[in-house]
């Protein structure tokens, strides 16, 4: 009997040792992955712009006007002119629509105070993609600003970032090995030029990208795959409604302006764009001008749909100022919405 007990004990001890080895192996692998992610540099430093944007967002000022959206804002807004004309501290948080609606809203919430205003300008693709966004784009910001982990609030977001982590490490290791053997990866010319445009140094203190303003893009205007009406994501409207209610109860005004698009894109995607506009008007108490107000000639765009060149940026900014002025001069704070009885 004693022999059997001893055998069982030895068996359990062996299992425990095996589990411990597996845990240590997993922990060691995780450490190596993190080291590769941190030690091997990225191909450019544009993600660092997020650090600068959050530093400005955290400024202790009486009133802030915060623009939230994707790259249509970084490429196509003159925040200096907006601040000068409207007399309010401006922060341009626009960076990448693939971060997802939930992430873009959650990252500005903690810094908003009574009297502040938020201007949403969301690329139409946002309404036809997951609310949780894409892990690779979120990972890029988390790497340079680890505190951004707190904006990952759902299992879908965490799963996307974990998957992206593996791909990012593989890409960095492959790039490092190629460089070591003298066979660097060759990027397509337009991709390489893009990495020269989107840099931290090419972005001003407000969060506006300015490096493209004096440049003429030598390649055709690029556009996404297109918007498919059946894939409209109604969750986006629900998320926006909750955000507006929360901000209103905090005394923060929420406004909306459509993103700029070129004429040919608007004509091709008019059904989907108007659907997004209608659902917004029905679902959220925003004051929203028609999408056509922000449709501009193709010649006013830089490299793709949503990205304005210097001329287009000036025209769009003037229109945004005109649309916001009546709302920002009416009240400095917004009373909380009355509680339903």
pLDDT score for 333: 40
Helix (H, G, I), strand (E, B) or coil at 224: coil
Give the pLDDT band of residue 167 (cuts 50, 70, 90): confident
Region of residue 87 (phi > 0: left; psi between -120 and 50: alpha; otherwise: beta): left
- Contacts of residue 315, defined as CB under 8 A and 6 or more positions apart, other chains included, come to 296, 300
Least confident of 21-25, 99-103, 107-111, 248-252: 21-25
pLDDT score for 336: 44
pLDDT in tens, 77-90: 999 999 999 999 99
Least confident of 9-13, 192-196, 272-276, 317-321: 9-13
pLDDT score for 328: 85
C-beta of residue 43 within 8 angstroms of C-beta of residue 174:
no
pLDDT score for 43: 57
Backbone angles phi, psi at 126, to 5 degrees: -55, -35
Extract the tokens encoding 296: 């501009």
pLDDT score for 208: 98
d(CA 212, CA 316): 16
Extract the tokens encoding 108: 């500005």
pLDDT score for 2: 53
C-beta of residue 227 within 8 angstroms of C-beta of residue 128:
yes
pLDDT in tens, 237-278: 999 999 999 999 999 999 999 999 999 999 999 999 999 999
Stretch 206-219: mean pLDDT? 96
pLDDT above 90 covers a percentage of the chain that reads 70
């Amino acid at each position: 009997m004693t022999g059997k007990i001893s055998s069982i004990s030895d068996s359990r001890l062996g299992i425990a040792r095996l589990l411990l080895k597996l845990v240590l192996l997993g922990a060691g692998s995780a450490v190596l992955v993190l080291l590769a992610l941190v030690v091997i540099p990225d191909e450019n430093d544009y993600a660092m712009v997020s650090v600068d944007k959050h530093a400005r967002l955290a400024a202790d000022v009486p009133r802030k006007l915060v623009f939230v959206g994707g790259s249509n804002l970084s490429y196509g807004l003159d925040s200096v002119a907006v601040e000068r004309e409207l007399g309010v501290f401006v922060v341009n948080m626009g960076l990448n629509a693939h971060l997802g609606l939930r992430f873009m809203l959650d990252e500005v919430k903690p810094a908003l105070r009574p009297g502040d205003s938020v201007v949403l300008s969301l690329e139409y693709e946002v309404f036809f993609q997951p609310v949780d966004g894409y892990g690779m784009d979120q990972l890029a910001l988390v790497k340079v600003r680890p505190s951004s982990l707190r904006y990952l609030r759902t299992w879908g977001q965490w799963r996307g970032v974990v998957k992206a982590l593996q791909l990012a490490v593989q890409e960095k290791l492959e790039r490092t090995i190629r460089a070591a053997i003298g066979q660097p990866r060759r990027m397509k010319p337009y991709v390489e030029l893009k990495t020269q445009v989107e840099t931290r140094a090419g972005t001003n203190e407000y969060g506006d990208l300015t490096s493209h303003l004096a440049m003429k893009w030598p390649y055709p205007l690029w556009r996404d795959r297109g918007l498919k009406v059946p894939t409209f994501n109604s969750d986006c409207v629900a998320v926006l409604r909750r955000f507006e209610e929360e901000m209103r109860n905090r005394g923060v005004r929420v406004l909306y302006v459509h993103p700029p698009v070129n004429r040919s894109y608007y004509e091709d995607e008019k059904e989907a764009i108007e659907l997004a506009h209608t659902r917004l008007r029905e679902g959220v108490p925003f004051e929203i001008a028609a999408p056509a107000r922000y449709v501009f000639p193709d010649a006013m765009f830089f490299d793709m749909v949503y990205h304005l060149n210097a001329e287009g940026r000036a025209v769009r900014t003037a229109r945004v100022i005109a649309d916001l002025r009546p709302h920002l001069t009416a009240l400095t704070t917004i009373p909380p919405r009355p509680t339903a009885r």
